[in-house]
Every structure is written in structure tokens, then in C-alpha cells.
Structure 1
Amino acid sequence: MKKQLRELNKIISDNRSGSAQILLNLKKHILKNPDDEDYLRFVITEAENHLNHFASVKNFLMELKSELKKSDLKQLRLFLENSILAQTKETELLFEKNKKYLKKFKVLTTLSYSKTLLEILKVWYKENPSLEIFILESRPMFEGRIFAKELIKIGFNCNLVVDAMMNYAVQNSDAVIIGADQILKNDNVVNKVGSFPLALCANENRKPFIVIATKDKFINSTRFTDSKRPEYEVWNYKHAKLQITNFYFEEIPAKYISKTIS
């Protein structure tokens, strides 16, 4: 049980991976323990308490709870296995459907870490191994560094830049492409902080600003709220006259988005 709890805690406290990666890890964790109904309901409660701000996780948990009401253990295993397989295959299909549009770009700018975008880039690399990618490091957790390591493993040539250099990156790119944590009903997109100014840079430089998202990122709401994150992640310094504000996510108005691939 201790091992299970450690693994679960690692998943729900992950503040560096994208929502798609966190969801995949959660599904795999549940698949290891489908026969313990009490633990399964505990996992659902913990995930709802810590991960419900991710649209894909929220949608999956709703499906899972519905499945629990009607399925036996064998059916539950099959549901989880199919869900993992479908999540893996969906990104490949997204690229195939939009290959003609995407293949015209030779240099991209992105930020943070997106599992969905990573899986698409794996397929894209087979079509164009010379594709170059600028990556914003994405403070305060530096997910861009993790993303760069993953892209280098695939074989891509990457250029990691600090967030404040986003305009330089955009000027030297053909397009800006990001993942998404939520797609709101009004077509606004919620993603890592830095995405909104990145969209403004793209529009100012007349470069396409593209969002790639799987269907489970869509929510039936036009409202987005985020909570403040720990101050020490930005700067571990205290002073009576100093206030540190740390948010992870922000909303990008639809008018700045050239295309949403979903």
C-alpha cells in the first residue's frame, strides 16, 4: 500500500508534466489496482481534489465513475486498456489529419511541456527530421528544459531560450504551436502562463499561432479560474514589502488563435 500511495502522490503532485502525461500516468496507476474498490475510490477522490482543473482528467474521472457503476473487474480492465490505447493513438491521428498543413513549417516555437505535442512531434520527425524547435524554458518550474531533453532524444535540433526572449524565437520561426489544458466553450484556450504573450508575439509578427488538443480538453464552460501557487517556486525570499505572485495557467482569447487542431 505504501508503494501505491507514493506512486499516486507523485502523480497528483506533478507540476512539471503536461495534463496528457499526468492523465496517462493516472490511468496506468489505476490499471495496476483495479480489483481494490476502496483504493480505487480513494484514487478518484484524490484525483478530483488535486487534478480536476485539468479538463482531460475531469472528463476521464466522470467516465470512470460511470464505468464503475455498470462494469465487473474484467470490463473495467478493458475500459482502462482501451482508454490508454485511444489516448496514445489519438495524437497520431491528429497529425495524419493535419499533415499537409503542418508539414509546410520548418521552424517552430513552443513553450513548457505538452505530452500531446510531444507525441505529434515524434510522428512529425519521421516526415521532417530537419524540423527546428525553439522552446521557452517556462518559469518557474522550467518544464521547457524537460521538453527539450525529450525532443533531443527523438533527434530534433532545439534552441532553448528564456521566456523573455519569446519575441526573438517567434521572429525566427514559421509558426508557434502549443498544447492546451482546457478549451473553453467560447473557444478560448487555457495553457501554461506565457502562452498569452506568446500569442501576442505571434500575431504581431504575423506568424500562425496553433493550438493542438485532444477532444478530452474541451469543457462546457466559458469560465476559467486558477489558484496561486507557492511563492518559493519563484524566489525563496521573504520581506514585509515583497509580494510574489505565482500562477501556472492563463487564458488565451480565441481571436489570437490561428487554428485549433483537435
Structure 2
Amino acid sequence: MKNGNQQLNKILNDNKSGSSQVLLNLKKYILRNLYDKEFIEEILLKAASKLNHFASVRNFLRELKSELKKSELPQLKSFLEESILSQEREIEFLFQRNKKYLIKFNSITTLSYSKTLLEVLKLWFEENPKLKIFVLESRPMLEGRLFVKELIKIGFNCELIADAAMNYAVSYSDAVVVGADQILNNGNVVNKIGSYPLALCAKENKKPFIVIATKDKFIHSDKFIPKKKSESEIWNFRHRKLKLTNFYFEEIPKKFITKIFS
């Protein structure tokens, strides 16, 4: 059980993976540890406490809570297996619906680490292996570096750049393509910090700004309230005249978004 708790804590405190990857890891963890309903209820409480800022996780927890009330363990097992399979298949359907538009690009800029985008890019590579990808390193957690490693494994040619050099990347790209943490009811998109200025760079360079997201990222709200994260992730230096502010996510206005593919 100790090892199981460590695995759960790793999922709950993962601040580098995108929400889709976190959700998939959570589903698989619950499926592996389907001991009794009380244990699942404990996981639900912990996950809601730590991951409630992810729209896709909130939606899943709500569905699982409902299923928990009316089903026994065999039915819960089937529910989780179907949910995992559905999440994995959705990416392929998403790409097939939109590939005519996407595969015409020969170079793109992105940022952070999006599981959804990564899976789309695996399929994209089969259609256009010459696609070049500029990736912002994505401070403060530098998950862009992790994303580049995954892209290289697939076979892509990549260029990793500092966040502040994003305009350089966009100017040499055919499009900007990002994932999403949430898609608000008003059409605005919440994504990794740096996405808003990246959208502005796309507009200035007359390049399309494309969001790729699964349907569980849509929420029935127009509000996004950013949460501050640990100051030490920015800098350990302290001074009474210095304020450190660390946000992971920000809102991109609808007017700067060319297309949302879901």
C-alpha cells in the first residue's frame, strides 16, 4: 500500500505533465487499485483536492462519483476500462477529422507538454515526417524540454528555445499549435503561461493560432481564476522589496484563436 500511495502522490503532484496525461495516469492507477469502494472514495477526495483546477479531471471525478453510487466493483472496472479506451481513441478521431488542415504545415511552434498534442503529433508524423517543431522551454518547470525529448523519439526535427525568443520561432513557423487545459464557455482558452503572448506573436506574424483539445476540456463557465504556485520555482532569493509571482496557466482571448480542434 505504501508503494501505491507513493504512486498516487506522484500523480497528484505532477506539475510537468499536461492534464490529459495526469488524467490517464489517474484512471490507470484507480483501475490497478480497485480494492473496495471506500478506497476509491479516498482517492476521489485526494484527487479533487489536488487536481480540481483541471477541467478534464473534474469532469471525470464527477462521472466516477456518480458511477460509484450505483455500481459495484465489476461495473466500476468496466467503467474505467471503457473510459481509458475512449480517451485513447478520441485522439485518433480528432486527428482524422482535422488532418487535411494540419498536414499542410511544414513547421510549427508550441510550448509546454501536452499529452493530447503529443499523441496527435505521432499521427501527424506518419503523414508528414519532415514537420519541424519549435518548442518553448516553458518556465518555470521547463516541461518543454521533456516534450522535445518525446518528439525526438518519434523522429521529429526540433528546435528548443527560451520562452522570451518565441517571436523568432513563430516568424519561422507556418502556425502555432498548442494544447489546452480548459476551454471556457465564452470561447476563451486556458493554457500554460506564455500562451497569451504566443498568440499575440502569431497575430503579429499573420500565422494561425490553433488549439487542439479533447471534449472533456470544455467547461460551462466563463471564469478563470489563476492560482499562484510556489515562489521558489521562480527564484530562492528573498528580499523585503522583492515580490515573486508564479502562475502556471493563463487565459487566451477568443479573438486571438484561429481554430479549436476537438
Residue identity matched to 2:95: F
**Deviation of residue 69 (structure 1)?**
1.2
> Partner residue of 1:224?
224
Task: Indicate the SS of the match to 1:225.
Answer: coil
Task: Indicate the SS of the match to 1:198.
Answer: helix
Task: Check if 1:137 corresponds to 2:137.
Answer: yes
Q: Is there any run of 5+ residues in structure 1 with no aligned partner, and where? A: none
> Partner residue of 1:8?
8
> Partner residue of 1:149?
149
1:124-145 Cα offsets, whole Å, 9 max, x none, are 1011111100000000000100
Instruction: Output the aligned Cα RMSD.
Output: 0.6
The structure 1 segments of at least 4 consecutive aligned residues displaced by more than 2 Å after TM superposition are none
CA separation in 1, counterparts of 2:84 and 2:123?
18
CA separation in 2, counterparts of 1:189 and 1:199?
11
CA separation in 1, counterparts of 2:246 and 2:46?
23
CA separation in 2, counterparts of 1:67 and 1:34?
14
- State how 1:85-164 maps to structure 2 within 5 Å: 85-164=85-164
Equivalent residue pairs, number: 262
> Partner residue of 1:64?
64
CA separation in 1, counterparts of 2:254 and 2:227?
22
Answer whether contact 2:37 2:73 (CA < 8 A) is retained.
no
Q: TM-score, normalised by structure 1?
A: 0.99
CA separation in 1, counterparts of 2:78 and 2:35?
13
CA separation in 2, counterparts of 1:195 and 1:154?
24
- State how 1:126-205 maps to structure 2 within 5 Å: 126-205=126-205
1:83-119 Cα offsets, whole Å, 9 max, x none, are 1111111011111000110011000000000000000
Q: TM-score, normalised by structure 2?
A: 0.99
**Deviation of residue 36 (structure 1)?**
2.1
CA separation in 1, counterparts of 2:219 and 2:63?
14
Residue identity matched to 1:126: E
CA separation in 1, counterparts of 2:144 and 2:256?
22
1:26-74 Cα offsets, whole Å, 9 max, x none, are 0000001123222211110011001011000000000001111111211
Q: Percent identity?
A: 66
CA separation in 1, counterparts of 2:187 and 2:43?
31
| 6-15 or 68-77: bigger deviation | 68-77
